[in-house]
A = this chain, B = another copy of it.
Amino acid sequence: MGTLTGITDGPADNEDWDLATPFLECLVRLIRAQDTHGAWEGKSDADLLADFILTKEQRREIPIIGDPDPDVLWRLQNFYSCVGLVIEERTGLLASPIMTISHEGFGRALFTTGRLVVLWKTLRDVHRFGFETLGKLSESGTKMVEDAIAVIETYPDMARA
């Protein structure tokens, strides 16, 4: 714990202060890997993750009419890619995510390894994708990873088929 910059300095920065979870560390790495021009070099990890955070009031203000914002789709894609990466880190098995999202903000996300469906999620209100706190972002991603690993452990042969 404590290797993420800027978010473990104290409660003043964020209401969660034990945030250097493997999931968030992976998400930060994934985002930084896309910073091909170094535009975010001066940003702390907490800054990079800040866009994933929406308060209830902020959520409510986002209209669900019209196409979801490309930035929201980018974050959603990164979130699910990160779930796949952490599954891979923990099991050594490649968990490929496949997602479909309609322009109305509904869709599905599905993870498979070998012949096994390890995880699927129905996506709703994609326009308002976000989490109340970094802790909840981490919890949500980590729970998906744990669920997927439990399925892989239940059907180990299928996951390698």
Shortest CB-to-CB span from A108 to chain B, Å, is 6
Alpha-carbon gap, A53 to B70, bound state (A): 36
Alpha-carbon gap, A150 to B68, bound state (A): 40
Q: Does A29 lie at the interface of the complex (its beta carbon under 8 Å from any beta carbon of B)?
A: no
Q: Which range contains the number of A residues in contact with the other chain?
A: 10 to 19
Q: Does A31 lie at the interface of the complex (its beta carbon under 8 Å from any beta carbon of B)?
A: no
Residues of B within 8 A of A116 (CB): 115-117, 158
Shortest CB-to-CB span from A93 to chain B, Å, is 13
Residues of B within 8 A of A161 (CB): 155
Number of copies: 2
Alpha-carbon gap, A123 to B97, bound state (A): 16
Inter-chain contact B100/A151, CB cutoff 8 Å: no
Inter-chain contact B115/A151, CB cutoff 8 Å: yes
Alpha-carbon gap, A97 to B130, bound state (A): 27
Residue among B98, B114, B151 making CB contact with A110, cutoff 8 Å? B98
Q: Does A30 lie at the interface of the complex (its beta carbon under 8 Å from any beta carbon of B)?
A: no
Alpha-carbon gap, A120 to B96, bound state (A): 12
Q: Does A99 lie at the interface of the complex (its beta carbon under 8 Å from any beta carbon of B)?
A: yes
Nearest residue, chain B, Cβ from A151: B115
Take A155-B158, A158-B155, A158-B158 as given contacts and tell me if A108 and B117 are in contact as well, using a CB distance cutoff of 8 Å: no
A residues near B, CB below 8 A?
A: 98-100, 108, 110, 112, 114-117, 120, 151, 155, 158, 161
11 more A-B contacts (CB under 8 A) besides A112-B117, A116-B116? A98-B98, A98-B110, A100-B100, A110-B112, A112-B112, A114-B117, A115-B116, A115-B117, A115-B158, A117-B117, A155-B158
